């Protein structure tokens, strides 16, 4: 605080021994020079850095909600950097839904990568696929499965 700074004598005048004769100053211990090893040069080959396409490490978070909020903040930052538009304040529902969708797509790519590729190319799924018997299909980039619920009067979500 400024009020406290005004009262700090040491701040304004320094240590008391500075105002004394140099013969009364504290004695500095003599430093012995260090022997340095011979200098060796090494060549370093530098190539382009490759970074994994991961937004953040999900195992660092204690709950899904914390992970989702941090992901939403990161996605907002990325949008700001690309579009130069500025949002301020708390996250809105759409941003939280985008973060939720990011993790659904990420998990689906991790768990069902070959199935997603086959469906995108219009190829049949391999029989050993764990979802092949559920009549899977792509819906807006998401892997969805059929089954009995496809006949129910429910939304896909």
Contact status, residue 114 vs residue 126, Cβ threshold 8 Å:
yes
Q: Is residue 13 very low, low, confident or very high in pLDDT (cuts 50, 70, 90)?
A: confident
Count of structural domains within the chain: 1
* Structural domain includes residue 121: yes
* Structural domain includes residue 123: yes
Enclosing domain of residue 139: 60-151
* Structural domain includes residue 111: yes
* Structural domain includes residue 29: no
* Structural domain includes residue 120: yes
Helices (H), the chain: 2-7, 9-13, 64-83, 93-121
Q: Is 8 left (phi over 0), alpha (psi -120 to 50) or beta?
A: beta
Q: What is the pLDDT of residues 69-107, one digit of tens each?
A: 989 998 888 888 887 667 778 888 989 999 999 998 998
CA distances 38 to 35, 41, 43, Å, are 9, 10, 16
Residue 60 confidence (pLDDT) above 80: no
Q: What is the pLDDT of residues 112-156, one digit of tens each?
A: 888 888 889 988 888 888 888 888 888 888 888 877 766 777 776
pLDDT for position 111: 87
Contact status, residue 101 vs residue 65, Cβ threshold 8 Å:
no
Q: What is the CA radius of gyration of the chain?
A: 31
Q: Pick from 151, 135, 133: which is nearest to 143 by CA? A: 135
* Structural domain includes residue 32: no
pLDDT for position 50: 46
* Structural domain includes residue 108: yes
**Distance, CA of 23 to CA of 20 (rounded, Å):** 8
120-155: b or e for each residue (b if 16 or more CB lie within 10 Å)? eeeeebeeeeeeeeeebeeeeeebbeeeeeeeeeee
Contact status, residue 72 vs residue 91, Cβ threshold 8 Å:
yes
* Structural domain includes residue 30: no
Q: Residue 117: helix, strand or coil by DSSP?
A: helix
Give phi and psi for 22, each to the nearest 5.
Answer: -55, -20
């Amino acid at each position: 605080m400024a009020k406290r700074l005004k009262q700090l004598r040491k701040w304004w005048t320094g240590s008391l021994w500075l105002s004394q004769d140099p013969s009364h100053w504290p004695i500095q211990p003599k430093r012995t020079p260090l022997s340095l090893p011979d200098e060796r040069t090494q060549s370093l080959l530098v190539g382009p850095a490759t970074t994994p396409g991961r937004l953040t490490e999900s195992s660092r978070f204690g709950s899904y909600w914390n992970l989702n909020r941090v992901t939403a903040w990161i996605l907002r930052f990325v949008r700001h950097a690309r579009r130069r538009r500025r949002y301020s304040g708390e996250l809105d529902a759409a941003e939280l839904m985008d973060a939720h969708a990011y993790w659904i797509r990420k998990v689906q790519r991790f768990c069902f990568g070959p199935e997603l590729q086959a469906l995108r190319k219009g190829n049949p799924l391999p029989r050993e696929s764990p979802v092949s018997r559920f009549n899977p299909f792509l819906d807006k980039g998401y892997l969805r499965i059929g089954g009995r619920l496809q006949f129910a009067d429910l939304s896909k979500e």
